[in-house]
Amino acid sequence: MKGKINLKVILIVLFGLAVIPALWILVFNLEGEKPVIEFESPTQILSIGASKDITVLASDQKKGLHKVKIEIVKDGKENVLIEKEYPKAGFFGAGVHKDTIKITIEPSKLGISEGKSLLRLSVWDYSWRRWWNGNITTIEKEINIDTKRPEIDVISGTQYVNQGGAGVEIYKLSEPCVKNGVYAGGNFFPGYSGYFPDKNIYICFYALEYDKGPGTEIYAFAVDEAGNSSKRGFNVSIKEKKFKEDSINISDSFLNAVMPQFDMTVDKNSTNPLLDKYIKVNRELRVANHNKLKELVQNPEKEILWQGAFISFPNAANKASFADHRNYNYQGKLVDSQTHLGIDLASLAGAPIPAANKGKIAYVGDFGIYGKMVLIDHGFGIFSLYGHMSSSDVTVGQIVEKNYTIGRSGKTGLAAGDHLHFSMLVDNVFVNPLEWLDASWIVNNITSKINDAKSVSGSK
């Protein structure tokens, strides 16, 4: 009797030793967690042009990846872009748990016609589910095959642009585009719609840097959602400009009065720390300030706020011109050279400063070499800058009318005496402010172009 009991126990134990591992193997290999497949940048996969690079991420953390298949379905036909199988690492293991797949889609080579299509991503794992076919995940995304380039219809007539000056181009696009505007001397200036009833008509203010003269390449540009791009030239006559060269003597009294406000370190072994600090401020801080300005002007108002000629600082003498090349001398020795990107206007100390035109206050505060500064956004990429102020009377976001007092002149920042530094910018390029202060220039080069475009487009 006792022997029979022991035999049963042995059989049960042996059965357990055989069945439990088998059950564990079944559970391990019959896991039901589905693999993952996704676009690296899903928002970009809406339209495909002549060529489109996409990146797909596939992963499975359990049994590992078995197969990935990517295809475009158009008019009931499956066009396979890639079909990839992965090795399995042993009975219990898994080979590849994740993969990054990069594909270049060229519809013409695949014989896929334009129009709505389906982009299908499928991934299988090494699970024993579905009779050893594995878990499967499939995602589908409706896309548009569009290999036609956008058309750019130039509306504005011949442009007359000064070196260091601004211009305006008006054009019509054949379709909505993710990026459009004008390239001038390698700088891109975005176009803005909304001024005309036809939303496909854009206005683009563009500029030439002070060192870009005749021969500079200027053209309209557009790229649609599918990545198709077009360029269109237009008639531009560029007038060469010669800018002045000045010599400025740096005195010890100036260095003692101005440099303590700047928190910049110099070599502890410097024999003239104030001079070394001045050179560092004049070079490095100037560059940092201009880089920060590029950030401040990135998202201008999407409407034209200004009207007519801009107004100048009243009863002021012009002490320095736009694009003056300045040589800085200390004790008869050249120590630095920079370009002055604005005009300096001097009146009475602490004189009230008017807003040059209607706009929205984009920045108020201390700004390096410019001292206390106000930046006004006039819309469509046009900005005015007021530097070296002693005080300001406006706040960021405030709408100010032309001639509204925004603050008072001073000598903050890198200034030797009380004056206003006034700059105009088109997007992030400094331009000659005298153009915008000239009513005739405004009419001949800006408003007349816009009015002519109104008549051509049928707008009132």
**Tell me, what CATH number does 191's domain have?**
2.60.40.10
Does residue 60 belong to any structural domain of this protein?
Answer: yes
> Same domain for 46 and 88?
yes
Domain end residue (candidates: 91, 121, 145) = 145
> Same domain for 182 and 80?
no
Does residue 9 belong to any structural domain of this protein?
Answer: no
State the pLDDT at residue 287: 97
- What CATH number did the domain enclosing 330 receive? 2.70.70.10
State the pLDDT at residue 178: 94
> Residue 54: CB partners within 8 Å, gap ≥ 6?
39, 40, 44, 45, 102, 103, 105
pLDDT by residue, tens only, the chain of 460 residues: 555 567 666 665 565 555 555 554 444 555 778 999 999 886 666 788 888 899 999 999 888 899 999 999 998 899 999 999 999 866 555 689 999 999 999 998 988 999 999 999 999 998 877 776 789 999 999 999 999 999 999 999 889 999 999 999 999 999 999 999 999 999 999 999 999 999 999 999 999 999 999 999 999 999 998 889 999 999 999 999 999 999 999 999 999 999 999 998 999 999 999 999 999 999 999 999 999 999 999 999 999 999 999 999 999 999 999 999 999 999 999 999 999 999 999 999 999 999 999 999 999 999 999 999 999 999 999 999 999 999 999 999 999 999 999 999 999 999 999 999 999 999 999 999 999 999 999 999 999 999 999 877 655 4
Does residue 41 belong to any structural domain of this protein?
Answer: yes
Encoded tokens for 373: 């500064």
Encoded tokens for 166: 């601004």
Does residue 4 belong to any structural domain of this protein?
Answer: no
> Same domain for 92 and 162?
no
Order across the sheet with 98-105: list the strands.
Answer: 36-39, 52-59, 98-105
- Give the count of alpha carbons within 13 A of 131, CB side only: 0
Buried b (16+ CB within 10 A) or exposed e, 364-399: beebbbbbbbbbbbbbbbbbbbbbbbbebbbeeeee
> Same domain for 290 and 423?
yes
Instruction: List helix spans (H) across 133-266.
Output: 252-258
- What CATH number did the domain enclosing 111 receive? 2.60.40.3880
CA distance 388 to 258: 12
> Same domain for 224 and 123?
no
> Same domain for 392 and 329?
yes
3-state secondary structure of 458: coil
User: How far, CA to CA in Å, does 240 sit from each of 210, 214, 331?
Assistant: 10, 6, 35
State the pLDDT at residue 24: 45
> Same domain for 183 and 267?
no
> Same domain for 279 and 314?
yes
Does residue 11 belong to any structural domain of this protein?
Answer: no
> Residue 3: CB partners within 8 Å, gap ≥ 6?
none
Instruction: List helix spans (H) across 332-436.
Output: 433-436
> Residue 441: CB partners within 8 Å, gap ≥ 6?
435
State the pLDDT at residue 43: 63
Please check whether residue 297 is in contact with residue 428, taking contact to mean a CB–CB distance below 8 angstroms: yes
CA distance 106 to 104: 6
CA distance 411 to 350: 9
Burial grade of 10 (CB within 10 A; 0-12, 13-18, 19 or more): exposed
Does residue 20 belong to any structural domain of this protein?
Answer: no
> Same domain for 254 and 394?
yes
Does residue 451 belong to any structural domain of this protein?
Answer: yes
Q: Which domain holds residue 395?
A: 245-431
> Same domain for 271 and 337?
yes
Characterize the bridge pairing of strands 52-59 and 352-354: unpaired
Does residue 164 belong to any structural domain of this protein?
Answer: yes
Instruction: List helix spans (H) across 68-213.
Output: 107-110, 129-132
What is this structure's pTM? 0.85
**Total domains in the fold of the chain:** 3
> Same domain for 315 and 346?
yes
Domain end residue (candidates: 76, 110, 145) = 145
Domain end residue (candidates: 145, 174, 209) = 145
> Same domain for 67 and 104?
yes
